[in-house]
A and B are shown apart, each in its own frame.
Chain A
């Protein structure tokens, strides 16, 4: 029932609140990156994600997909080159400025990173709470979003009580809850069966159709090919467009 996701898309009114500063949510110029005392994972990466684009990042396990996403979320900093987010150079940005940038992104982590001590409602509401919004303002939106991802009857369940697929959908609900300008998802279909994977892809496609820039990392090239999105391939630390 993927159509159910598309029809009930609840995000459009909120988007007007923050005007987009740039038509390029992401720009990497000659970016290199490596972990301490290790050979570089990424070399000379050049990449521009224009607003409203939909990209797939593929490559074998260990190719550096997660590392590249961690650069975009500012969990790591480039060791070479220049990184711009939403039109401003963030290569050497101060730590205090990071939270505001992150609030414009929705992230889906490979391991979901749900908070085990909070129920589904509180997990989905997290970005809104952190942005300082009041519960009375967002409670209905959160319920609507949970309905939309098919978790309407699991609102008070904790993550441990949810199936893998339900957790994945909750993680996605949280990522899109605050109406982000950019969605970054790391293997968002990694732990679900192919039917569910297709269903979740429909979800990202409908968000993208509303103007959200989407970047999905996945080692599954089949799903990338089927999505119709632009495919980027990482190998040997370099980035190429198109399937290998």
Chain B
């Protein structure tokens, strides 16, 4: 007699080769899904950072009136704006500062003769930023001819691309989940076929279809949870090394990975198991049909 009972008392025989293969496929799919999720979270955070920065700034271009120099007009505009609610600071860009900005692009030769716009850079109150309309109205009231750019268009572009990345990541997630589900459905059908005689024996011994489906659900649910954990661990490894190589700010400004991103992929094994359990049940129950249903289908 054995001291311990045989550990393999599962009613469903193992199918080592097929199940290893399935686990590998699910691990890879989970790895991809984790990277997509983390990439999306990171890109979204980057976009939000840029948008916040853009929201906190506005640029005003001043057109001097007859009898007024551009510098005076800009200084007056800066003074007016600084006194407006929702503005933290307004600074007129003098000609020298403007030339400094343009020198790398245009070169030294043309600069002195260039007609340059007279600009005021405005830093808005981050808590209650003044709108472009408020700024325009304040300038008009002070008798200044000026146009306000609150970077709305850029901001819109940044936000749109962030939304697009999130959408793509969501799509990638659904795709990988669907692929994992399809792999489980296929494996369940193949498993039912390969173990047809065992299934029939169980059924004749009084096992309900639901109980037989449950054997596959448990088998593939556990398998997917394990494979999901492996895929997640691999993704964590990649994220960790990117983070390590990239220093405290993450790899690049465009992909600021944080340790918090690791949290969003922690449910991966659970989600993988959930997809597996549902797919296995649907596949098993649709294939397991007794004589009554079989006859109805034929009729």
Could you tell me which A residues sit within 8 Å of B by CB distance? 36, 73-77, 92-96, 98-100, 102-103, 107, 109, 113, 115-119, 121-122, 126-127, 129-131, 155-156, 174
Contacts and interface: CB of A to CB of B under 8 A. Distances in A.
Contact of B205 (A94, A96, A119, A126): A126
Given A115-B198, A117-B8, A117-B13, A73 B204 contact: yes
B201 A115 contact: yes
Given A115-B198, A156-B6, A99 B207 contact: yes
A93 to B, nearest CB: 7
B208 A107 contact: no
B206 interface: yes
Contacts of B197: 113
Interface stretch (B41-49, B68-76, B290-298): B290-298
A104 to B, nearest CB: 9
B2 interface: yes
B202 interface: yes
B8 A107 contact: no
Given A102-B206, A113-B204, A131-B206, A95 B293 contact: yes
B14 interface: yes
A130 B211 contact: yes
Interface centre among B1, B2, B206, B208 (most CB of A within 10 A): B206
Contacts of B1: 155-156
Interface in B11-40: 11, 13-14
Question: Which 7 A-B pairs rank lowest in CB-CB distance, beginning with the nearest?
Answer: A95-B290, A103-B206, A117-B13, A99-B208, A102-B206, A113-B201, A77-B291
Given A75-B291, A118-B9, A156-B6, A130 B207 contact: yes
A75 B204 contact: yes
Contacts of A93: 292
B73 to A, nearest CB: 86
Contacts of B205: 102, 107, 126-127, 130, 174
* Chain B interface extent, by class: 20 to 34
Interface of B: 1-2, 5-6, 8-11, 13-14, 197-198, 200-209, 211, 289-293, 295, 298
Contacts of B5: 121
Contacts of A95: 209, 289-293
23 contacts: A36-B298, A74-B290, A74-B291, A75-B204, A77-B291, A77-B295, A95-B209, A95-B293, A99-B211, A102-B204, A102-B206, A103-B206, A113-B197, A113-B201, A115-B198, A117-B8, A118-B8, A118-B9, A119-B6, A127-B205, A127-B206, A131-B206, A156-B6
Interface centre among B10, B200, B203 (most CB of A within 10 A): B203
A156 B11 CA distance: 16
A179 B13 CA distance: 26
Given A116-B13, A117-B8, A131-B206, A156 B201 contact: no
B202 A130 contact: yes
A118 to B, nearest CB: 7
A92 B238 CA distance: 59
A64 to B, nearest CB: 17
B290 A98 contact: yes
Interface centre among B2, B11, B14, B205 (most CB of A within 10 A): B205
A122 B9 contact: yes
Nearest to B14: A117
A144 B206 CA distance: 22
Contacts of A131: 206
